[in-house]
Structure 1
Amino acid sequence: MTKYKDYFEKMLRENKDSFDTFRKVHMDYSLDQQKFQALFNEEGGKIQKILREYENRLCANTERGIYNRYSTNLSEKFQNEVRKHFPLIDRIGIVIEKFSLKKLL
């Protein structure tokens, strides 16, 4: 198994409760975005912190020296693996307001 997939699996194992909760919220959000937006943003914020931590661990050793270009690719592969499991992960933090036009008369 590749290194980024290893880190992804390790992240899921070590934070099982958080990701189980987020998986349910993610599924609910995919069905009704307006209703679950606040909960999705709240739980998603916690998940983003975990993702950043593991991404930093993954890329920490490769950012120094001659492998710094490899670090960027590794980070992208890790993020793409996350998107495979959570396609709406990039919508965390977005505030969607209901749009309506007011009549002039």
Structure 2
Amino acid sequence: MGFQYWFTVCAVFLVGPISLVESFVYCRRGVYTKTFKGTSRKEYIHVDEKPIEFWFSIIFHMVMGMAMIILGFWLLDGIPVVNHWYAEIRAMLPF
């Protein structure tokens, strides 16, 4: 478990919540901003003009953020110290 592993875990835990917050911001604004790799071009998807594409993009963005957080916890489960913490927390729960 070297630097690369911890860097990956930290990156996953940074990207996940940022994606979740972005999806809520897009939802409140009513405009989803699509950017294209390698260009400075942006496409704005308004909820009034393209509702299906807007909601699909928002839901996909939110699911991606949740998946990144779950991936982070899954990566942490492979570390023996953290696995011991999980066992202690599970032992404290009444069910």
TM-score (norm 1): 0.34
User: Which has the larger helix fraction?
Assistant: 1
TM-score (norm 2): 0.37
User: Which has the larger strand fraction?
Assistant: 2
